[in-house]
Structure 1
Amino acid sequence: MSPTQTHLIIAYPSSDPTTGKPLNFNMPYYTGHHVALATKLWGPSGLKSWSVVEFANPNPFSGKTPPYLFQSTLIWEGSPEEVLKAVMDSGEVLGPDVVNFTDVEPVLWVAKPGASGIVGE
């Protein structure tokens, strides 16, 4: 039986949902420090890969600001419960670091793999 794979999606809203203040986001700090710290902490708990995307603003299809400007996808070998435990166990270290790269609280989703494919094969 193969291990369970869980995806943790962390999305950063374009603006603070309470105040409407636009998102501030320091990508060099996020990728250079925060993600490196998370990788060090979560690697032993099953984190296998990560990616970060920045959404076009304005969205070329609608001309509007998208609801989210940045998204991280973290792929884990393990159950959602194991991912949650790893995230909660690292909260004292990673939580206080968030203010160093953003002023808007992220939205987190846990997902299981659906379908995928490779074009041209």
Structure 2
Amino acid sequence: MAPSATITVLYPNSASDTTFDMQYYVNQHMPLAMKIWGPAGLRGWQVTAFETDPATSQSYCTGSVFTWDDAAAANRALAMREAAALFEDIPNFTNVTPLVMIGQVTDSWTGH
């Protein structure tokens, strides 16, 4: 069954002093997300390091997409008391506040 909802987290790169520790994010934060959200129905995740242009006012250094069976499961995951630990961990890898969005997957394609 293909996932039908996502939680997308975008980390802005709009300030000249933006920091982001990708090693910590992938090796510490994402396993924490799996520990907390795995039992809540997390189906998978992807992390993207974006190529950024400091001259662009709306640029992002990193983005993550968490996949869920449906939007209700994604909303429940964000509302979990345990999910607070994910947000409390943010200062350990970045000095920016992320943008968090829930969305319905309307179509997808994966080639081989």
> Rg larger in 1 or in 2?
1
Q: Which residue of 2 aligns with 1:92?
A: 84
Q: Distance in 1 between matches of 2:66 and 2:83?
A: 16
* Superposition deviation, residue 84 in structure 1: 2.1
* Superposition deviation, residue 113 in structure 1: 0.9
- For 2:98, which of 92, 106, 113 is the aligned residue? 106
Q: Which residue of 2 aligns with 1:55?
A: 50
Kindly provide the amino acid, as one letter, of the partner of residue 40 in structure 2: S
- Pair 1:31 & 2:23 matched: no
Identical columns (%): 29
> Under a length normalisation based on structure 1, what TM-score does the superposition of the two structures give?
0.77
Q: Distance in 2 between matches of 1:51 and 1:118?
A: 14
**SS at the partner of 1:114?**
coil
Q: Which residue of 1 aligns with 2:67?
A: 75
Kindly provide the amino acid, as one letter, of the partner of residue 37 in structure 1: L
> Under a length normalisation based on structure 2, what TM-score does the superposition of the two structures give?
0.83
Does the CA-based 8 Å contact 2:48-2:64 persist in structure 1? yes
* Superposition deviation, residue 69 in structure 1: 1.3
1:119 and 1:77, CA in 2 relative to 1: closer, same or farther beyond 3 A?
A: closer
The gaps in structure 2 that reach 5 residues or longer are: none
Q: Distance in 1 between matches of 2:6 and 2:45?
A: 9
Kindly provide the amino acid, as one letter, of the partner of residue 115 in structure 1: D
Q: Distance in 2 between matches of 1:104 and 1:14?
A: 8
**SS at the partner of 2:91?**
helix
Q: Across the two proteins, how many residue pairs are aligned to each other? A: 110
1:88 and 1:109, CA in 2 relative to 1: closer, same or farther beyond 3 A?
A: same
Q: Distance in 2 between matches of 1:67 and 1:45?
A: 31
